[in-house]
Chains A and B, each alone.
Chain A
Amino acid sequence: MGGAVLQYVIAGLVLGGIYAIAASGLVVTYLSAGILNFGFGALAFFVARFYYYLNTENHWGIVPAGLLSILVVGPALGVFLYFLLFQFLRMSSTLVKVVATVGISVAIPPVTTLVFGNQTILKAPGLAPQPVRVFKFLGVPVTMDQIIVYCCVVGIMVIGFVVLRYTDVGLRVRAMVDSPAMTSLSGTSPNLVSVGVWAASIGLAGLVGVLSAPIIGLDAGDFTLLMVAAFAAVIAGRLRNLPVAVGVGLAMGIAGALVQYGLPPNSSFTAAVIPSIPFIFTALFLIYFIFRGGGVNEEEGVGGALDRAIRPQGGEAQVVTASSDRPAARSVSYRAVLIGFALVCLLPVILHGFWLGLVAQGVAYAVIYLSFTMVVGEGGMIWLCMATFAGIGGLATAQLATNHGWPVLAAVLLGGVIAVPFGAVIGFLTIRMGNLYVALVTLIFGLLMENLVFSRNIFLNLGIGVNVGAPDWASSARVLSYLFLAIFAVIAIFIVNIRRSTTGLALNAVRWSERGSKTLGISVLQMKVVIAAVASFVAGIGGGMLAISLGVALPANYATLGGMVWLAVLVTLGIRSNVAALFAGLSFTLSSGVALVYLPKAFGNVPPILFALGAIFVAKFPEGTLAMQARQFREIGRRYRLMPPRQRFLMAGGGLATLAYFILWVIEVPHYWWIALIIGSVIYHAFIVWILVKGPMVAVAHAGGAPAGAVVPGQAPTLAASANGMAAVSSNGPVPERAPSEVAEMGLQ
């Protein structure tokens, strides 16, 4: 009997040790770089897969394969990502940090598939030679793999302690944690230290990957779940306390083992509880923190007073509205919105069959994305569990419509209503938390729901889900698409209506300054709970619509980690705009359709990679591509008006020709419409570059907010520079943002 407990504890300690290593990798980068790396699990997966590729597929020896994977590839990835991304993130807002690292976690798994192939690997060898030797310890079998994990945990802790405490490198890292500004003033380049820390952290991720592969197999989702479990330990250490994080990591492993020992082995309850243990730990810690400390906020205490003093002011303000141009800041201008919506309304006419189905799905996604627009865009709250609300709506729709005989549209509506209390409660509980904690808590809530509720057989139906039919009168895909577009329009108008009302002003106020709102007499609590409730309603509706368009409500379609991909898609196009949500939904489904139909099977994952890259580069272009395009249009319009007639004629003719070509193509060969799209966009971009390079150079304030006729000295070179850079994108870079304030001052004095 005692031996049996010991056996569970030994297994639990292995998992706990892996949590502990992951937690230390996460804490180290959080402390020294201010970034909690949501991509940690995906990076661990990549290195583990690389090791499998070398060791199993190419028969390298364990030692060279392990050394190359853990000591070379992992750290090299860290260095690469530092230069690509992390170095720009330090000063960014929490939203940008979260989204960019979520982008990594979304991009890496498909990249891995692309590189190493798509086969499912259920059993992967670890660092122990095969067959794995088994030893007896107090009468209990212990595998070589387990012993290696123990050695690694002890080794990492000892090496980590010695390096940090007694070496010069460790001193520099500790100095960085204390204050990057002081480190710099002491003659040490913070960048160099950061590179080292990132290399070490991703190296640890690689070690975690290789060590866990024998336990959890080689599935990207499982690795992300493992990382999320490590988040529990990190939260317990309040993001900063390394020893506590390590201790809690170990404790969680053991607790899991003991629960497993105590519960009946074959019940579905046990199967649901075991993976939920880390999340239950997190919930307990957060409740404890909130009742004891009155709130948790990561923003206190990163760096010293000096670091805060030299942080550029208004940095947060640049997150979503990098533009000072009023229409662009609110949304894309109304004319553009209407044109965009009208174009989308044409789609069901010109598309057929498979593609038409994708349009309906895309609009359903667009409705879900509207809920992101509200919570993240309007409310400024980073919620990673919107997929869960959509799931509540979708699964409820299926239950009500199919199992209880409700009319399907009424079921969708009630599904949305059912999601509301969940949203309101989450909004209420997270009210006093810092942004990063909110992101973590909502992620964990989503996974908990997925594990405990969505996995019940009543929803799962043996893995095939519950069927949902469209209403009889909307059984044609074309009618369904228009029905969905109408629902989308109603919700979008609802959102615009709130945005422009007093309540909208107050919501906007709370989003930008809680202190300012409170002292004005606005109730921050009420605002946040309301927006959370409304957004979860919208997400629930969208989830129901998605179920209808797919014909089935399947829990897997509402996976929390899948929701992170959705966020990446929306952020790529612009998180604040309704029309961006529509385009995001459509491009999500249509681009996967294009990849599915036309690309070789191995490239089926390209669209998510592109969207993830979009999310990653939100660090540099925070407003999203759609707002950027809108500005580009305005810029071109301005140039156009300044052109001599001959050039104007040429340009207008070229534009019309492109459009005509596209339409002709669509009518003639509907199946290859996307080729026309690509060629059309190439011509379009060639036009932009041509105009920017050859067009008249006039010194105009870059943003439209400037009074008419105001000429800002020094503005022309910026435009010229961006034009010469050829990249249409760079003309929207952050450089000229100061101009409007200068203009404003001139206007005042």
Chain B
Amino acid sequence: MSEAGSLVVEDLDVRYGPARALLGVSLSVDGGKVLAVLGPNGAGKSTLGRAVSGLVKPKSGKVVFGGVDITGWAPHRVRRAGLTYIPEGRGIFPGLSVLDNLKMATRQVGRRAARQAAIERAIGLFPILGNRSQQRAGSLSGGEQQMLAMARALAVDPALIIADEMSLGLAPLMVDQVFDSLEKARNQGISIVLIEQFVHRALAFADTCVILTRGTVGWRGAAADAGREVLDQYLGEATAAAESAAAR
């Protein structure tokens, strides 16, 4: 129950123009724990990540990270406060080299020597990146790109990582690698908000779980209790809703 790395989201409302992406979403993660955020596409999972990390400004609601209210902070400030968001679809600079990607990630670390050490530690976690350090990040394979994204996150000792759909579009072997790298983060005591489409993998990994449906929290609870509920949410409830609509 440590406050460091904890995240509390209260009553978050986000709109993109006329579209309401999130409606009164509340959730929380304790320090060092893993929260899985699940839900069908368009449910607002990525919007949640973007709002918490400051990329989009919430219309109302509150985001408290490590006991500090960070609502409305600019993304670079949020990152410097220790909250790292790995956005959907490769959180890297595809046009920069692998090394430059790591350099950008560690810019917030003060001295040159400390930065060098941070980069070396990141490469230590994912040795394959060392061999590719001069390669354009966009030319890496999908799995390697996600490893780079994770290395960029872990290099600066964040307190919390929000990993958005990291297994998206990856072959199963690559998905394993992604979860291995998440495991490394968890072992360092970092809290994780895991936004995922592979429900069973995510539930097996997480402590608690939140299911979003059309911008609202549809279900929340311990990950272990989620099995049946999740399937209903994906394939069941919407069916029921449509049928009731038709009956009306």
Within 8 Å by CB, do A and B touch in the complex? yes
Known contacts A168-B107, A188-B107; is A175 also within 8 Å of B56 by CB? no
Q: Which residues of the partner chain B approach A186 to less than 8 Å between Cβ atoms?
A: 76, 79, 104-105, 107, 152
Select which of A171, A182, A314 is within 8 A of B17 by beta carbon. A314
- In the bound complex, do residue B93 and residue A310 qualify as a contact, i.e. CB atoms below 8 Å apart? no
Q: How many residues on A have C-beta within 8 angstroms of the other chain's C-beta atoms?
A: 29
Report the Cα distance A168→B106, complex, angstroms.
11
Stretch at the interface among B95-103, B219-227, B232-240: B95-103
Q: What is the CA–CA distance of A219 and B178 in the complex, to the nearest angstrom?
A: 61
Q: How far is the CA of A172 from the CA of B103 in the complex (A)?
A: 10
A463 contacts B by Cβ under 8 Å = no
How near does chain B come to A641, taking the closest CB pair, in angstroms?
31
Residues of A close to B46: CB separation below 8 A: 309
Closest to B93 in A: A178
The residues in A between 457 and 503 inclusive whose CB is less than 8 angstroms from any CB of B are none
Could you say which residues of chain A place their CB within 8 Å of the CB of B76? 183-190
User: Measured between C-beta atoms, what is the minimum distance from B32 to chain A in Å?
Assistant: 22
> B104 and A188: CB pair below 8 A?
yes
Residues of A with C-beta under 8 A to B40: none
- Shortest Cβ gap from B54 to chain A (Å): 8
Q: Tell me how far the C-beta of B96 lies from the nearest C-beta in chain A, rounded to whole angstroms.
A: 6
Q: A174-B100, A175-B96, A312-B16 are in contact. Are A187 and B108 (CB under 8 A)?
A: yes
Query: For the complex, is A342 an interface residue (Cβ under 8 Å from B)?
Result: no
Set of chain A residues within 8 Å of B80, measured between Cβ atoms: 187
Chain B residues near A184 (CB, 8 Å)? Answer: 54-55, 74-76, 79
- Asked if B50 and A310 make an inter-chain contact with CB atoms under 8 angstroms apart, the answer reads yes
Contact: B91 with A182, CB < 8 Å? Answer: yes
A197 adjacent to chain B (CB < 8 Å): no
Q: Give which listed residue, B18, B85, B100, B108, contacts A741 with CB less than 8 A.
A: B18
Q: Determine the distance from Cα of A741 to Cα of B16 in the docked complex, in whole angstroms.
A: 13
Judged by a CB distance under 8 angstroms, whether B19 is at the interface is: yes
Residues of B contacting A190 in the complex (Cβ-Cβ under 8 angstroms):
76
Contacts of A310 in B (CB 8 A): 50, 55-56
Asked whether B53 is an interface residue with its Cβ less than 8 Å from the other chain, the reply is yes
* B218 CB–A CB distance under 8 Å: no
Which residues of chain A are near B210, meaning CB under 8 Å? none
Q: How near does chain A come to B155, taking the closest CB pair, in angstroms?
A: 10
| In the complex, chain A residues 169-201 whose Cβ is within 8 Å of any chain B Cβ | 171-172, 174-175, 177-179, 181-190
On whether A175 and B104 interact (CB within 8 A), knowing A313-B19, A314-B17, the answer reads yes
Distance (Å) between the CB of A526 and the closest chain B CB?
Answer: 31
- Evaluate contact between A177 and B95: CB separation under 8 angstroms: yes
Question: How far apart are A317's CB and chain B's nearest CB, in angstroms?
Answer: 8
Interface status of B42 (Cβ within 8 A of chain A): no
- Residues B1-37 near A (CB distance < 8 A): 15-19
Query: What CA separation (Å) do A186 and B158 show in the bound complex?
Result: 12
Evaluate whether A306 and B89 lie within 8 angstroms (CB atoms) in the complex, with A187-B107, A313-B17 already known: yes
Neighbour of A182 across the interface among B19, B88, B92, CB < 8 A: B92
A304 within 8 A of B: yes
CB under 8 Å from chain B, chain A span 275-329: 304-306, 309-310, 312-315
Contact: A185 with B87, CB < 8 Å? Answer: yes
Q: Mark A229-273, 1 if CB is under 8 A from B, else 0.
A: 000000000000000000000000000000000000000000000
Most chain A beta-carbon contacts within 10 A, residue among B17, B79, B84, B85: B17
**How far, in whole Å, are A186 and B109 apart by their CA atoms in the complex?**
11
Task: Determine whether the beta carbon of A174 is less than 8 Å from that of B17.
Answer: no
Least Cβ–Cβ distance between B50 and chain A, in angstroms: 6
Q: Is B124 an interface residue (CB 8 A)?
A: no
Complex interface: chain B residues within 8 A of A304 (CB):
94
Cα of A174 to Cα of B18 in the assembled complex, Å: 33
> Which of A174, A188, A306 is within 8 Å of B96, CB to CB?
A174
Docked complex Cα distance between A631 and B60 (Å): 29
Tell me which residues across on chain B come within 8 A of A314, comparing CB atoms. 17-18
Counting chain A CB atoms within 10 Å of each CB, which of B75, B87, B91, B108 scores highest? Answer: B75
* Complex Cα gap A312–B107 (Å): 28
Give A145-181 as 1s and 0s: 1 = Cβ < 8 Å from B's Cβ atoms. 0000000000000000000000010011011011101
Binary contact readout B54-86 vs A (1 if CB under 8 angstroms, 0 otherwise): 111000000000000000001110011000110
- Contact partners of B96 in chain A: CB under 8 A: 171, 174-175, 178
Question: Which of B53, B56, B94 meets A185, CB within 8 Å?
Answer: B53
B116 CB, nearest partner CB in chain A, Å: 13
User: Which single member of A182, A183, A189 contacts B87 (CB below 8 Å)?
Assistant: A182
Report Cα–Cα, A738/B74, bound state, in Å: 23
Q: What's the Cα separation between A182 and B104 when bound, in Å?
A: 10
Q: Which residue, A175, A177, A179, A185, has most C-beta atoms of chain B within 10 A? A: A185
Chain B nearest CB from A183 CB (Å) reads 7
Are B103 and A171 in contact (CB-based, < 8 A)? yes
Task: Say whether B87 contacts A306, CB under 8 Å.
Answer: yes
Measured between beta carbons, the chain A residues less than 8 angstroms from B105 are 186-187
| In the complex, per-residue mask of A429-456: 1 if CB is within 8 Å of any chain B CB, else 0 | 0000000000000000000000000000
Q: How far is the CB of A738 from chain B (nearest CB, A)?
A: 8
Compute how far the CA of A216 lies from the CA of B46 in the bound complex, rounded to whole angstroms.
55
Residue in A171, A312, A738 whose CB lies within 8 Å of B100: A171
Chain B residue, CB-CB nearest to A312: B17
Do A178 and B95 form a contact, CB below 8 Å, given A188-B76, A313-B19, A741-B18? yes
Cα–Cα distance between A400 and B91 once the two chains are bound (Å): 66
Q: Which residue of B lies closest to A189 (CB)?
A: B76
CA distance A306 to B49 in the complex (A): 12
Inter-chain contact B107/A182, CB cutoff 8 Å: no
Which residues of the partner chain A approach B55 to less than 8 Å between Cβ atoms? 181, 184-185, 306, 310
Residues of A within 8 A of B54 (CB): 184
Cβ contacts A38-75/B at 8 Å (1 or 0 each): 00000000000000000000000000000000000000
- Taking the closest CB of chain B, its distance from the CB of A90, in whole angstroms, is 14
Q: Which residue of B lies closest to A165 (CB)?
A: B100
Q: How far is the CB of A280 from chain B (nearest CB, A)?
A: 33
- Since A184-B54, A306-B89 are in contact, a sample of 7 more A-B pairs with Cβ atoms closer than 8 Å, ordered by chain A residue number, is A174-B96, A175-B104, A178-B96, A181-B87, A187-B79, A188-B107, A310-B55
Closest 10 CB pairs of A and B: A313-B17, A184-B75, A187-B79, A314-B17, A187-B108, A178-B93, A178-B95, A186-B104, A189-B76, A313-B16
Residues of B within 8 A of A (CB): 15-19, 46, 50, 53-56, 74-76, 79-80, 84-85, 87-89, 91-96, 100, 103-105, 107-108, 152, 156
List, sorted by A's number, 28 A–B pairs whose CB atoms are closer than 8 Å: A168-B107, A171-B96, A174-B95, A174-B96, A175-B96, A175-B104, A177-B95, A178-B93, A179-B93, A181-B75, A182-B91, A182-B92, A182-B93, A184-B54, A185-B75, A185-B79, A185-B84, A185-B91, A187-B76, A187-B79, A189-B74, A309-B46, A309-B50, A310-B56, A312-B16, A313-B16, A313-B18, A313-B19
